[in-house]
Amino acid sequence: MKKAIDHLKSADAVMASIIERVGPYKIEYREPIFQTLVRSITYQQLHGKAAATIFGRLKDAARADPLTPESILKLRPARMRALGLSPQKMSYIRELARLTRKGEIDFARCVTLEDAAVIEHLTRVKGIGVWTVHMFLIFALRRPDVLPTGDLGVRAAIKKAYGLAELPKPAEMEKIAAAWRPYCSVASWYLWRSLENVGAM
């Protein structure tokens, strides 16, 4: 990781300043498994504490940790709704479970695929968009060079750090990030942390 941080510091003075302010790189990874994507769906558009409560209830109700497609599909839809899941999220999670059980979504295979192929593979599931897969690539598959252009936090951090008049669009983000490659994931982690200046993802 020292190589990545040295590269970012030497390639971009703004990023060097962020790294100095935030401090050591302390990313927390998750396993590249079914449960991780279920968690991502649960957390979409919710504050962390509320999402964590619902996700905890889901694991308790399914009596599985980690969650499996079978443990999800044993739960009735009404039971899942009672845990606090919206109708949309409940249907997305069940669809992911069905496709994973059928072998159409293969988490073991994701490990061997290129980033673009992982995005194509997982976004076939309704409710899983590019942003969700970007998070999976960074935090589960540990890919070093992912730029989550749809992430509001990264966009806000770039706007603030680079003195932009408005939130950057993907093309502008790519232009700024050219200097960070091949370590955009590391840069993104530092951008997230720069907004709060403490803690780890």
What average pLDDT does the structure give for the chain?
Answer: 95
- Write out pLDDT tens, residues 73-114: 999 999 999 999 999 999 999 999 999 999 999 999 999 999
**2-28+146-196 CATH fold:** Endonuclease Iii, domain 2 (1.10.1670)
pLDDT of residue 93: 98
pLDDT of residue 66: 96
The two three-digit tokens of residue 73, written as one number:
């599909």
- Write out pLDDT tens, residues 168-197: 999 999 999 999 999 999 999 999 999 985
pLDDT of residue 200: 37
- Write out pLDDT tens, residues 140-173: 999 999 999 999 999 999 999 999 999 999 999 9
Average pLDDT over residues 6-30: 97
pLDDT > 70: what percent of the chain?
98
Task: Give ranges for CATH 1.10.340.30 in the chain.
Answer: 34-139
Of 199 and 78, which is predicted with more confidence?
A: 78
pLDDT of residue 198: 45
Contact 185, 146 (CB under 8 A): yes
Average pLDDT over residues 29-46: 94
Nearest-CA neighbor of 27 among 44, 4, 51, 53? 4
Task: Give ranges for CATH 1.10.1670.40 in the chain.
Answer: 2-28+146-196
Q: In angstroms, rounded to a whole number, what is the distance separating the alpha carbons of residues 97 and 113? A: 21
pLDDT of residue 46: 87
pLDDT of residue 167: 98
Contacts of 173 (CB under 8 A, 6+ apart): 147, 149, 154, 155, 158
pLDDT of residue 51: 94
The residues annotated as belonging to the active site are 151
The CA distances from residue 138 to 98, 104, 118, 188, in Å, are 25, 22, 12, 9
Nearest-CA neighbor of 107 among 2, 188, 37, 5? 37
pLDDT of residue 146: 98
**34-139 CATH fold:** Endonuclease III; domain 1 (1.10.340)
